[in-house]
Every structure is written in C-alpha cells, then in structure tokens.
C-alpha cells in the first residue's frame, strides 16, 4: 500500500501567509483610497493598517514557532524514550570526547548514576587490563573521526566483569558539521566463554592427538589425507605435511596396496566403521611397519559422506612376538612329541626292568637261598659270609628297582585332587613305624587339623618318605623327637617334618633331593637315595616346592608347599 503524499507544514504555512499578506497589501490600499478622500485620514488609516498587519504577522509567527517547537519537543521525547528503553546500553559523546549521555540500560548494567558516568567516569568500570587499549581505540577514533568497534570487560552492577562489544559512529548536525559520537554495546560474555571453551577443547584435542602414542588421521572421500598427526614421523618417518594429499596406499608395498584397494573401495561405496584392520606399511628407510587401523565415517552438515577419521597403532612388536610365540609353540609341540616318545621308551624300559632285569635277579636270590639250605653244613665261614653278602646285595638291588619303578610311576600318575587330612595320615604312618620297631623310644608330635588339596596316594608317599626319613636318622638318639605341622610363609601353607636326629651340613643341601646322592654312608644309615627325589617329584607335580634346613648332630627340618593358591583360610598357623 502506498502512503498519501502530504505537504510539510514548514512549506504550507509560509505559502498561505505570503498569499494572504500579498492580497492584504494589494487590495487594502486600493479600497482605502476609494473610501477615504481625506489624505490625512488616509495616512492614519494606512498607519493603523500597517500596525494591524504587523500584529497579525506576529501572531502567525508565534503560532508557527510554537507549533514547530512542539514538534521538535515531541520528536526529541520520542527518540529519548527509544534510547532510554533500548535493550542495549547506549552512550553519546560531544566533540571534545566527553560523554554527555548514557541510557537507562547502561546505568542499569553498571549500577552507577548518570553523574558518575559522565565525562570519562565510565572508564572507571573498565577492567584494568583492558583500559589502556580501550582508551587508545576511543581517542584514536575521535581524532580520525572514523567508526570503531572494540571489545573490553566492563564491571556490571554485581561486581562481575563481563565482556562487551562497543560500536561507535560519528554523527553530524543539520549543517553536516561533526557533532560527536554515539555508540551502543552488546554483552558478549557467553560468546567469549563459548569461544574460550572451544579454544580449550581444541587445545586439549590438539595435545591429545599430537602426544598420543597412536597416529590419528582424517581422509576425504577420495581417501586422501586432509589431517595427519605428528606421530606419523615416528611411525613411518614422514613429516605430516608430506602425507597431506596422499593416500594410505602410497605408504604400502605394491602387493599390499593391491590387496587392500578393493577393501577400501567397498568401504567408500558403503561407509561403515571398521576396527583392528591390520596392514603392512613401509617406513621411509624401507623397513616394514605393521599397523592396526580403526576408523569411523565422517558426514558433512547435509549428511553426505565426506571421508573417514581414524587411528593407527603400531603392532609390529606384537606381530613379531606372535610370530615368535608361534615358533615356540611349534618347538614346544616338537618337544612334546619327543617327550611322548621318551615316555614310551621309559615305559618300555620300566617293563624291561620289571621283567627282564628282575627275573635273573630273582633267580640269583633263589639260587643263593638253595645253596645255603643244601650246602650250609659243608661251607666254611668265609663262604657263608660271601653267600650272605650276595643275598643282601640282591635284596638291595630289588628294592632299588622297586624305587625306580615307583619314581617312574609317579611321573605318569594322573593326579586325583581332593581334600586330604595330613594329620590323620601322619598318625597312621607313625603308628606303623613304631609297630615295626617296638624297642625304639620316639615321641611323635603331630598337629591337629592339617589338611591339603592334592592326590591322596602321592601325598601318602611324601609323608611316608619324610616321616620314615626322620625315623631313620633319629635311630641313634636315646629320645627321638619327630614333629609334623604347618605354618604360614608369605600367606602360603607350608608343611614341615622336623626331627632331632643326625642332621646334615647345609653346604651340601643341594644334593639332598638328587637321585642316589646320600650325605651319610650305607653303613651308618641304610637307604637307596631315591626317597627324597620321589618327594621332590611329587611336590613339583602339585605345583609346590620342597627344601630342607639342618645342622650336623642337631637334626633337620624338611619343608614343602603344594599349589601356591593353597593359602590359609585364616591367619592362624600351627
């Protein structure tokens, strides 16, 4: 809709006045001349007419000026109201740079009065760190009379400094003369905080990507790098700038690139995340680097696929370790096969020992007994002693063969794990030992409630050997003391058998558990040197260890543990 054109009052009123005045001057003299013949009277009337014209002119000028003043006043009030109620702080300064007006919004923001802000009082609210820059920008603009925009922190009514953007422009009077500056402000604290948060976020992301042990990258839809983190220098020997614009295939051997090209073409056609994708790259020096790649597709604001963003991890050491593990696994399988073959040979040997060796040994023993029975009266003392030596030797040989067979059987015996009452087992073995030698004075101290998880048959062999060993080496004591119990060593159940017998030299303790190694002669204490070896084999099969402490003439203590996880259920130790 077009607005109707109107003639301004400043034009219409003077035009009407000129028209009426012209008619009055032109016709009044003519009319008076016709009506009045007396020249003196005509002169007086002309004077009255002139004063009347002046009076009317004065009244019209007064009415015109009053109306104009009211229009100016209404216009000024309108603009002042607009400025006062404007939601942004507004200020005005004269030609001298001194501020002479601040709107209500400014005063509400700062919490100060107009008198406090006039002149350069407003500068008292500017943050000290921003004041010099603020005043310089303000004064330079006044000197050049150019518009300006500046940011600074201004103290608000609650004492908090807030970021504002201050825009000032020069204004001119009706004669186009410079009259000062008028400006408006906007609170941009939230925007500055968002910028700072974004900057800090970008800084954290940059530090993360540039200092992580992995290589972070981004490619466009043509698989060309548009971002490469500095880690590529350590991984492949290239500077980030050298990689930009290249594709992953540029860092691969031709055969590897040919293998992976169809895979990545398919990912571009059907974008989807992928992870743990292994690929072999070439370092600048020609060495092979195995990378594990993971990535996700990236989309632009319109939702169109724009590339991939991902991460590469160097797994060369892991791949090398895996290859070594594979080789070790193959070697272990070969060793296992060899061990299986050795076990079969051992079984064959055991069969030979059990039958082919034992049979002639039994024949010798039987022959010696027959000779003794048939020819005992015809033998001299020397022959009888020799015959007794042969019988004892065959008996010892038979016991050694039995011990070796038992040791071999232990290595092949399948463990049947269960809870075993070692205290009760020790009491039974002690009773058997005392029944076999009723004339021995020996005291057994056996702790109550000692249990273990293991194979009952094999643990009986351990207890029988250790208690039998203590029984044997206390034979020369008038009052033998043999003790069985359990204590805690590092939270692990440790079982022990202690005696006050012959003991041993600790410098030779490493020989105790070796087969056929004896620290005492057969003349002092009988034995075959297999018992402690058997104990060690059984304990090791249970995942434990065995050791001994002793002193010559003051007895010995044998300790053993079973599986390391057999820890005490409480803190008490027997």
Whether the Cβ atoms of residue 425 and residue 457 lie closer than 8 Å to each other: no
pLDDT of residue 402: 65
The mean predicted confidence, pLDDT, of the chain is 80
Q: What is the structure's pLDDT at 128? A: 93
Q: How far is CA 142 from CA 169, 457, 528, in A?
A: 10, 107, 115
Question: Is 60 exceeded by the pLDDT of residue 215?
Answer: yes
Q: What is the pLDDT of residue 521?
A: 47
With a CB cutoff of 8 Å and minimum separation 6, the contacts of 360 are none
Mean local confidence (pLDDT), 281-285: 93
- How would you label 479-502 residue by residue, b for 16+ Cβ within 10 Å and e otherwise? ebbbbbbbeeeeebbbbbbbbbbb
Q: What confidence score (pLDDT) does residue 474 get?
A: 87
Q: Is the pLDDT of residue 1 over 60?
A: no
User: 160 CB contacts (<8 Å, ≥6 apart)?
Assistant: none
What is the predicted pLDDT for the residue at 5? 47
Q: What is the average per-residue pLDDT within 15-43?
A: 68
Label residue 245 by pLDDT band (50, 70, 90).
very high
Checking if the pLDDT of 528 tops 80, the result is no
Torsion on CA atoms 267, 271, 276, 279, rounded to nearest 10: 30
The helix (run of H) or strand (run of E) holding residue 485 is strand 480-489
Residue 194 has pLDDT above 70, yes or no: yes
User: Residue 571: is its pLDDT beyond 50?
Assistant: no
Q: What percent of the chain has pLDDT over 70?
A: 76
Q: What is the pLDDT of residue 567?
A: 47
Which one has a higher pLDDT value, 76 or 215?
Answer: 215
What's the rounded mean pLDDT across residues 440-460?
A: 89
At residue 426, the pLDDT reads 93
Per-residue confidence (pLDDT) for residue 4, from 0 to 100? 43
Mean pLDDT of 496-519: 74
Identify whether the C-beta of residue 142 lies closer than 8 Å to the C-beta of residue 131.
Answer: no
Task: Find, among 565, 564, 508, 563, the residue nearest to 532 by Cα.
Answer: 508
Instruction: Answer yes or no: is pLDDT of 365 > 60.
Output: yes
Contact 190, 183 (CB under 8 A): no
Whether 41 has a pLDDT exceeding 90, the answer reads no
Asked if residue 569 has pLDDT above 50, the reply is: no
Give one DSSP letter per residue of 443-489, joined into a string. Answer: EEEE-TT-EEEEEHHHHHHHHHHHHHHHHHHTTT-SSEEEEEEEEEE
- Average pLDDT of the residues in 231-258: 92
Q: What are phi and psi of 215, to 5 degrees?
A: -95, 120
Cα 124 versus chain centre, distance: 48
Burial degree of 107 (CB within 10 A; 0-12, 13-18, 19+) = middle
The DSSP-derived string for 514-530 is: STT--SS-TTTS---S-
pLDDT of residue 364: 75
Residue 293 banded pLDDT, cuts 50, 70, 90: very high
Alpha carbon distance 166, 183 (integer Å): 7
- The DSSP code sequence of 275-340 is EEEEEEEE-TTS-EEEEEEEEEEEE-TTS-EEEEEEEEEE-HHHHHHHHHHHHHHHHHHHHHHHHH
Report the 10 Å Cβ neighbour count for 164: 22
Chain position carrying tokens 């101290």: 445
Q: What is the DSSP letter of 52?
A: H
Strand order in the sheet with 556-560: 442-446, 480-489, 492-499, 556-560, 546-550
Residues 6+ positions from 387 with CB-CB distance below 8 Å? 368, 371, 372, 379
The residue ranking higher by pLDDT, 568 or 325, is 325
Asked if residue 170 has pLDDT above 90, the reply is yes
For residues 319-337, average pLDDT: 87
Report how many helices (DSSP H) and strands (DSSP E) the chain contains, helices first: 15, 17
Length of the chain as a residue count: 574
Q: CA end-to-end span of the chain, whole Å?
A: 110
Per the model's pLDDT, the better-predicted residue between 388 and 354 turns out to be 388
Lowest mean pLDDT among 133-137, 271-275, 470-474: 470-474
- Characterize 346-366 residue by residue with b for buried, 16 or more Cβ atoms within 10 angstroms of its Cβ, and e for exposed: eeeebeebeeeebeebeeebe
Burial class (CB in 10 A: 0-12, 13-18, 19+), 561: buried
**pLDDT at residue 272 is higher than 70:** yes
Give mean pLDDT, residues 134-160: 92
Lowest mean pLDDT among 469-473, 501-505, 542-546: 501-505
Position 248 pLDDT exceeds 90 = yes
CA distance 184 to 102: 10
- Classified as helix, coil or strand, 404 is helix
- Assess whether pLDDT exceeds 80 at residue 160: yes
- Rounded Cα distance, 463 and 433, in Å: 12
pLDDT value of position 350: 60
Q: What's the token pair of residue 555?
A: 């007895």
In the predicted model, what is the mean pLDDT of residues 378-402? 69
270, 297 contact by CB (below 8 A): no
- 13 by DSSP, 3-state: which? helix
């Amino acid at each position: 809709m077009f607005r109707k054109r109107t003639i301004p009052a400043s034009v219409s009123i003077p035009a009407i006045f000129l028209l009426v005045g012209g008619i009055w001057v032109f016709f009044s003299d003519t009319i008076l001349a016709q009506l009045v013949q007396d020249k003196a009277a005509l002169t007086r009337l002309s004077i009255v007419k002139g004063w009347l014209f002046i009076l009317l002119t004065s009244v019209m000028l007064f009415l015109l000026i009053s109306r104009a003043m009211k229009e100016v006043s209404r216009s000024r009030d309108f603009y002042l109201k607009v400025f006062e109620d404007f939601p942004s702080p507004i200020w005005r300064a004269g030609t001298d740079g001194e501020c002479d007006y601040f709107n209500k919004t400014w005063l509400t923001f700062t919490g100060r009065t107009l008198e406090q802000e006039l002149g350069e009082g407003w500068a008292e609210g500017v943050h000290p760190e921003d004041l010099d820059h603020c005043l310089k920008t303000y004064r330079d603009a006044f000197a050049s009379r150019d518009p300006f925009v500046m940011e600074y922190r201004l103290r608000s009514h609650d004492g908090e400094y807030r970021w504002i953007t201050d825009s000032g422009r020069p204004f001119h009077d009706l004669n186009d003369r410079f009259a000062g500056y008028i400006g408006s402000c906007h609170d941009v604290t939230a925007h500055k905080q968002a910028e700072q948060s974004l900057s800090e976020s970008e800084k954290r992301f940059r530090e993360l990507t540039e200092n992580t042990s992995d290589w972070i990258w981004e490619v466009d839809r043509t698989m060309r790098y548009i971002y490469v983190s500095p880690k590529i220098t350590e991984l492949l020997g290239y500077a980030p700038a050298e990689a930009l614009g290249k594709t992953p295939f540029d860092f691969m051997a031709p055969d590897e690139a040919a293998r992976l090209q169809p895979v990545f073409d398919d990912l571009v056609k059907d974008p989807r995340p992928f992870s743990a994708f292994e690929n072999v790259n070439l370092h600048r020096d020609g060495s092979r680097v195995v990378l594990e790649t993971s990535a996700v597709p990236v989309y632009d604001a319109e939702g169109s696929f724009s590339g991939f963003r991902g991460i590469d991890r160097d797994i060369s050491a892991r791949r090398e370790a895996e290859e070594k593990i594979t080789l070790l696994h193959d070697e272990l399988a070969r060793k296992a096969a060899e061990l299986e073959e050795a076990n079969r040979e051992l079984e064959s040997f055991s069969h030979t020992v059990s039958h082919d060796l034992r049979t002639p040994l039994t024949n010798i023993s039987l022959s010696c007994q027959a000779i003794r029975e048939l020819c005992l009266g015809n033998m001299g003392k020397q022959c009888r002693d020799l015959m007794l030596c042969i019988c004892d030797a065959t008996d010892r040989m038979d016991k050694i063969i039995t011990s070796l067979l038992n040791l071999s059987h232990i290595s092949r015996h399948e463990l049947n794990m269960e809870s075993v009452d070692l205290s009760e087992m020790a009491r039974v073995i002690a009773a058997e030992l005392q029944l076999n030698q009723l004339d021995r004075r020996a005291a057994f101290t056996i702790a109550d409630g000692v249990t273990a998880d293991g194979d009952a048959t094999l643990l009986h062999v351990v207890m029988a050997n250790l208690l039998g060993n203590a029984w044997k080496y206390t034979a020369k004591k008038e009052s033998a003391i043999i003790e069985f119990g359990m204590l805690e060593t590092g939270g692990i159940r440790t079982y022990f058998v202690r005696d006050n017998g012959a003991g041993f030299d600790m410098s030779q303790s490493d020989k105790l558990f070796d087969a056929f190694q004896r620290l005492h002669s057969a003349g002092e204490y009988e034995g075959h040197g297999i018992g402690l070896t058997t104990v060690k084999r059984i304990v090791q099969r249970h995942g434990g260890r065995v050791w001994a402490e002793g002193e010559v003439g003051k007895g010995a203590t044998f300790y053993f543990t079973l599986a390391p996880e057999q820890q005490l259920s409480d803190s008490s130790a027997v």
